[in-house]
Chains A and B, each alone.
Chain A
């Protein structure tokens, strides 16, 4: 009989090997799923993971998309990872992303059409502040009233989606848009747009921000006392309290930081790739970022790799949808399975598996 024996320390080897193994297993399971859907599994897997990068026909379009899609995922995921490390579960990043985008867009639309170098920086501030403020709701309710931050942050996603719809069809609707829902095209408003910095690379300011966020988070988590406190609070909450870690401060800090990051991601998206506020502006980056955070082992460097891989599944998924008629939902299932395998394989890093026979009682 198989028996689990808790390791005194999580295994370092398995800690890094499980994500790779999980990806491999997900590919196998995904191939089976695609076969069930009547698609050639090998062609589908190749189209998702290989063709966007190396197929001469698609790579020119797909490669820049990698950074475009990975930037928001990484930006949101590093923010979430800090909270997850401390056992503070912000799962409402999708809502903070929307509010960040709305606040940033509001600044842009308020200044339209005047030029000014200060407009874009102001939008960045507004985006971060919007996401931060939206995340402060669960944070304050948690510290003040002990309300569960998981439920509140998640419920606020639905509220944010309704606000988005109200804005896209109401206050922020393009006055020259013949009554169609959706705001002015912010990407075409030079003072407010978030363009490609290097043409053809997909590199926009959001990518730069993600890069800075990763470095910042790395230093915070691994070189700073606060990072030590965060890790301590997650692993041994009681010990953390004795060590003088104030839980309330940690909640406010973690939720605030992840909210600001999600807000930034939303702002860069609305001023760049998404171009405007529309009813279906959000596409679930806030939720996929949860998978990215776990896949990256809640470690900034791991998150970069995980974000790129997840971006690849988005791009490859779209490609497979277009070329093979693979349903879009199949990719969502694929991403969900990845998280399942990841969580399942975690057992290897925390436990030893022993073969033993139950003793005769």
Chain B
């Protein structure tokens, strides 16, 4: 065992990369849940994004086109969920599960010809003197653009939810859909758009995994990242900045356990590899118990179907 081989600067830099896919998926799901929709299909949307993004990036040799395709792919499958739950009034839990099961199979089917192919490289940003700063440079300013896009997205979602009319309508729909409906807001339309946004974000998160973080396509490569993103929304108490904090925390755990594996700590690899899931469960327990629960503030209509009568 050689713990001194773990370089804290490299670790901190890798943390942001590891956190970005779950952050992207979580911020999308956060918006959907704020609109009162519980979409358990995040894993399915992520993996669909991962494969569409990868396929398009390989075919066009352009990672950004791939990410655009992932955005569309994630949104497209999320619309199946929207159709089921918003138009056909199906159970949200079951529909979300269906989306995950379908997405895992569908992606495996699409990705058949792409196993073992390297994707086109996504260049790192060069932020001039910022990138050359000692310590801070490699940690903060030498990443691919998507890391910064994800942070900007968190800021944008925060601003939009709290400081714009559209955001207030979305929150009203999520808190009390009957009241929102009585006020004349289109509950169903708002929710469908929120679901599509969630799907697009999850798709992008998936593409980040297959194009940048891993970078490779393998079946089932999301390996629960979508579920961790769902837990992250609870951890964040439905607040965007807390989602960022949570994602970096998880990113830290993922990177740390990978580094411990590499350093040859005398714990079997499998036990280290289960730590992100165990930590997620632990966090869920802490967040949903006792006093913490009062400050959780889950949207009032979360998971409840809405059917306008009259």
Contacts and interface: CB of A to CB of B under 8 A. Distances in A.
Interface of A: 4, 6, 37, 89, 91, 141, 144-148, 150-152, 154-156, 158-159, 162-163, 165-166, 169-170, 287, 290-291, 294, 327-337, 339-340, 343-344, 346-347, 350-351
Nearest to A91: B97
A91 B224 CA distance: 13
User: Which 10 A-B pairs rank lowest in CB-CB distance, beginning with the nearest?
Assistant: A332-B105, A336-B102, A329-B108, A145-B289, A166-B270, A343-B90, A329-B109, A339-B98, A333-B105, A162-B274
B164 interface: no
Contacts of A331: 105
Contacts of B101: 287, 290-291, 332, 335-336, 339
A329 B105 contact: yes
Q: Which of B105, B223, B285, B289 has the most CB of A within 10 A?
A: B105
A282 to B, nearest CB: 12
B60 interface: no
Nearest to B96: A150
A134 B94 CA distance: 22
B93 A89 contact: yes
A155 B231 CA distance: 10
Contacts of A148: 234, 284, 288
Given A162-B271, A347-B89, A155 B224 contact: yes
Given A291-B101, A336-B102, A344-B83, 7 more contacts: A4-B307, A145-B288, A147-B284, A163-B270, A290-B97, A340-B80, A344-B84
Interface of B: 40, 80, 83-84, 88-91, 93-95, 97-98, 101-106, 108-109, 112, 219, 223-224, 227-228, 230-231, 234, 268, 270-271, 273-274, 277-278, 280-281, 284-285, 288-290, 293, 307, 309
B270 A340 contact: no
11 contacts: A151-B230, A333-B102, A336-B98, A336-B103, A336-B104, A339-B97, A340-B80, A343-B84, A343-B98, A344-B88, A346-B91
A11 to B, nearest CB: 14
B97 A340 contact: no
Contacts of A37: 109
Contacts of A145: 285, 288-290
Nearest to A33: B109
A170 B95 CA distance: 38
